């Protein structure tokens, strides 16, 4: 029953949604859609998002097929407006998130399973060690009538006890980690429908994986230890050496573990390098001490002359605020993926037969003070001036990437471009200046070609204000809001933030998940090193009598170390070879989530190989040096 003034129009409140209902894009208030389908000609209307609920039993793919059929009928009935266009369906989450976060989440899931497999391999190796020490006990049990299943059950029961303890500790750790993760992303404005918590389904999945991994890690040692050949087991134990099959299996598991660790470490290295690039990249413009906010006219304001006057005055009045060094108005913000949409264009002197043949570029309308406010220097020609008005010569400024990609690096000043495709009626724009490349906010195309237009020559109902200030930037919020309110009370400002924060928003998932990848990589490195050390230590301990005999017969400490190191070296070398091949495959899948990093980055691959090699050598060297301290007489008596 109460009345709210929204977009300059009074609305009566007729309902209140539950707290937490923000569908479809984090909204707090909903207005009825009011359109007049007869107000314009076909094809000349506003764009709308279409949301629908699938009928029971209908898949997204089936709905997409049906929409494709509908679009074909439209194209046949109205070729002038619908030819070449098609419709398809996708899930709401996929539409909201886009491909990059989704691909990144699947990549993260793969990384988690890699760590799990490495941990399982370690546990399996430790259980193999334990099984080898208990081989005589198993032989006696078998000789007394124990079945193979009874032997396997003993080992699996012990593994399940370990799993139960690990699961409880893991869930406690997960709870703490989730709280920390949610605190870490609170400022990144994640989608409202993402609720990161220990949901019952997640809990059941985690417990199920824990049980499955226990079976995986414990079953192989149990089956190996329960072999029915009693004579071989007892003889093997009497020799003081581990079973040959157990030894081979244990070494094979280490190779597998090193390979997985290598793949995961390369993925972690690529993500860490991506994170580093996001923090150290040269955006091409200054971000320090710059306030930004969006200002927009409601749809009820249709006077374009009034809007242009408003933005002209807004630029001047914000520039006059205390503490403001320079201010500008633009249709978007570089680095924030706002207002830098792709558009087809043509160069004067070129022609294209079909719309899809036209090249595309980013475009941005800016005021004459834009380049000075963001400290973007001039490469060639001139910048926009106050004389570039709506009734003046249509002009444009392009960046260096545009010149390189579309003009072959040649002369740009004086060339002409025109936005649109075959049916365009847009004016030709004369290029009057060239500026450096600037970050556009797209992780997949950090420095794209961009065409800048004078704001006065390209109408916009919404714009961004950017102000360089000597004060803390966000202190300008109330002052800018006051200026806007004094000029147009129904025009709000929103999204006030520093330019640095605006640039960071599109890259939040790269930074947050890149840090997690680094943690996964460190865990994998630790587990792989421990695994290799455990196997080498086990091998040395089982061969203590052999080492004693060798040293009693004159073998030097250097020869004993070399013997142990050779055994670890081939495992390390084989694991690295397989791991680098695996890493090459993984890195190609990660292309969509990397920021300005090549998937086959030689530095990352060589660094990971060197790191694993050093860790492996250290893991082999410790038990090798311990072997040189074996007293031959003690070693002979130990068996």
Q: Per residue in 316-327, pLDDT tens?
A: 899 999 999 999
Residue of 618 and 454 predicted with greater confidence: 454
Q: What is the pLDDT of residue 433?
A: 94
Predicted confidence (pLDDT) per residue in 133-168, tens digit: 676 777 777 777 777 778 778 878 877 888 888 888
Q: What is the pLDDT of residue 630?
A: 66
Average pLDDT over residues 163-181: 87
Per the prediction, the chain carries an average pLDDT of: 82
Asked whether 368 and 383 are in contact (CB, 8 A), the reply is yes
Asked whether 455 and 331 are in contact (CB, 8 A), the reply is yes
Residue of 261 and 125 predicted with greater confidence: 261
Most confident by average pLDDT, 179-188, 405-414, 439-448: 405-414
Pairing of strands 450-454, 395-399: antiparallel
Q: Does 592 score more than 80 pLDDT?
A: no
Which residue matches tokens 């330019």? 499
Distance of CA 114 to the CA centre of its chain: 17
Strand partners, 287: none
Asked whether 138 and 243 are in contact (CB, 8 A), the reply is no
**Using CB atoms within 10 A of its CB, is residue 426 exposed (0-12), middle (13-18) or buried (19+)?**
middle
Tokens of 251: 């070494």
575's enclosing H/E stretch is: helix 557-589
Cis, bond preceding 24 (omega within 30 deg of 0): yes
The SS3 assignment for 325 reads strand
Predicted confidence (pLDDT) per residue in 449-506, tens digit: 999 999 888 877 889 999 999 989 999 999 999 999 899 888 888 889 899 888 887 7
Average pLDDT over residues 542-553: 71
Using 50, 70 and 90 to split pLDDT, how confident is the model at 384?
Answer: very high
Q: What is the pLDDT of residue 240?
A: 39
Asked whether 108 and 517 are in contact (CB, 8 A), the reply is yes
**Share of residues in the chain with pLDDT > 90 (%):** 23
Q: What is the pLDDT of residue 63?
A: 93
Predicted confidence (pLDDT) per residue in 404-431, tens digit: 999 988 899 999 999 988 888 889 999 9
Average pLDDT over residues 292-321: 84
Cα(612)–Cα(576) distance, integer angstroms: 8
Please enumerate in sequence order all residues whose Cβ is within 8 A of that of 345, keeping only pairs 6 or more positions apart, or say none.
358, 359, 360, 361, 363, 417, 418, 419, 420, 451
Q: What is the pLDDT of residue 328?
A: 92
* H, E, C per residue of 181-195: HHHHCHHHCCCCCCC
Q: Does 638 score more than 60 pLDDT?
A: no
Average pLDDT over residues 333-342: 77
Tokens of 255: 């190779």
**Using CB atoms within 10 A of its CB, is residue 149 exposed (0-12), middle (13-18) or buried (19+)?**
exposed
Predicted confidence (pLDDT) per residue in 2-44, tens digit: 999 887 788 999 999 998 888 887 889 999 987 777 777 766 6
Cα(181)–Cα(177) distance, integer angstroms: 6
The SS3 assignment for 341 reads coil
Cα(321)–Cα(22) distance, integer angstroms: 36
Average pLDDT over residues 512-516: 77
How far the first Cα of the chain sits from its last, in Å, is 92
Q: Does 549 score more than 80 pLDDT?
A: no
Predicted confidence (pLDDT) per residue in 71-123, tens digit: 999 889 888 777 778 888 998 888 877 776 777 778 778 888 888 888 888 77
Tokens of 456: 């006065």
Cα(261)–Cα(161) distance, integer angstroms: 27
Please enumerate in sequence order all residues whose Cβ is within 8 A of that of 69, keeping only pairs 6 or more positions apart, or say none.
none
Asked whether 92 and 575 are in contact (CB, 8 A), the reply is no
């Amino acid at each position: 029953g109460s009345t709210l003034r929204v977009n300059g129009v009074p609305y009566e409140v007729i309902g209140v949604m539950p707290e937490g209902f923000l569908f479809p894009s984090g909204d707090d208030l909903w207005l009825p859609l009011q359109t007049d389908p007869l107000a314009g000609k076909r094809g000349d209307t506003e764009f709308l998002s279409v949301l629908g609920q699938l009928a029971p039993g209908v898949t997204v793919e089936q709905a997409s097929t049906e929409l494709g059929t509908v679009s074909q009928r439209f194209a046949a009935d109205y070729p002038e407006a619908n030819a070449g266009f098609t419709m398809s369906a996708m899930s709401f989450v996929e539409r909201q998130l886009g491909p990059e976060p989704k691909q990144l989440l699947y990549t993260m899931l793969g990384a988690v399973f890699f760590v799990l497999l490495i941990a399982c391999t370690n546990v399996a190796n430790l259980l193999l060690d334990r099984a080898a020490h208990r081989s005589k006990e198993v032989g006696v049990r078998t000789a007394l009538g124990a079945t193979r299943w009874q032997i396997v059950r003993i080992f699996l029961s012990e593994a399940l006890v370990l799993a139960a303890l690990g699961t409880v500790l893991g869930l406690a750790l997960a709870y703490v980690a989730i709280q920390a993760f949610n605190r870490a992303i609170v400022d990144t404005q994640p989608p409202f429908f993402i609720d990161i918590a220990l949901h019952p389904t997640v809990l059941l999945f985690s417990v199920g994986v824990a049980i499955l991994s226990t079976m995986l890690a414990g079953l192989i040692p149990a089956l190996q230890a329960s072999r029915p050949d009693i004579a071989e087991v007892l003889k093997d134990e009497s020799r003081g050496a581990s079973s040959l099959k157990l030894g081979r299996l244990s070494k094979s598991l280490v190779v597998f573990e090193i390979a997985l660790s290598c793949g995961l470490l390369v993925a972690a290295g690529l993500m860490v390098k991506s994170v580093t690039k996001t923090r150290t990249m040269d955006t091409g413009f200054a971000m320090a001490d710059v306030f930004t906010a969006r200002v927009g006219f409601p749809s009820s304001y249709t006077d374009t002359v009034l809007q242009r006057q408003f933005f002209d005055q807004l630029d001047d009045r914000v520039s006059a605020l205390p503490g403001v060094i320079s201010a500008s108005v633009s249709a978007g913000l570089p680095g924030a993926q706002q207002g830098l949409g792709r558009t087809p264009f043509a160069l004067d002197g070129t022609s294209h037969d079909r719309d899809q043949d036209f090249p595309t570029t980013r475009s941005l309308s800016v005021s004459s003070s834009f380049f000075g406010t963001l400290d973007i220097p001039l490469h060639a020609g001139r910048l926009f001036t106050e004389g570039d008005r709506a009734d003046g010569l249509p002009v444009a400024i392009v960046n260096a990437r545009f010149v390189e990609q579309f003009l072959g690096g040649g002369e740009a000043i004086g060339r002409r471009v025109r936005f649109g495709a075959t049916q365009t009626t847009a004016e030709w724009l004369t290029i009057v200046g060239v500026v450096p490349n600037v970050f556009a906010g797209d992780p997949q195309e950090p420095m794209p070609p961009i065409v800048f237009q004078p704001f006065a020559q390209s109408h916009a109902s919404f714009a961004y204000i950017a102000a360089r200030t000597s004060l803390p930037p966000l202190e300008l919020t109330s002052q800018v809001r006051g200026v806007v309110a004094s000029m147009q009370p129904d025009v709000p400002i929103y999204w006030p933030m520093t330019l640095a924060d605006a640039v960071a928003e599109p890259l939040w998932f790269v930074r947050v998940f890149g840090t997690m990848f680094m943690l996964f990589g460190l865990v994998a490195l630790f587990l792989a090193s421990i695994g290799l050390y455990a196997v080498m230590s086990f091998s040395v301990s089982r061969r203590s009598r052999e080492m004693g005999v060798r040293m009693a017969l004159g073998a030097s400490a250097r020869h004993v170390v070399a013997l142990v190191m050779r055994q670890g070296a081939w495992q390390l070398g084989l694991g690295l070879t397989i791991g680098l091949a695996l890493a090459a495959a993984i890195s190609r899948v990660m292309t969509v989530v990397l920021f300005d990093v090549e998937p086959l980055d030689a530095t990352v691959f060589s660094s990971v190989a060197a790191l694993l090699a050093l860790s492996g050598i250290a893991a082999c060297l410790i038990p090798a040096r311990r072997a040189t301290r074996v007293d031959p007489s003690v070693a002979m008596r130990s068996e």
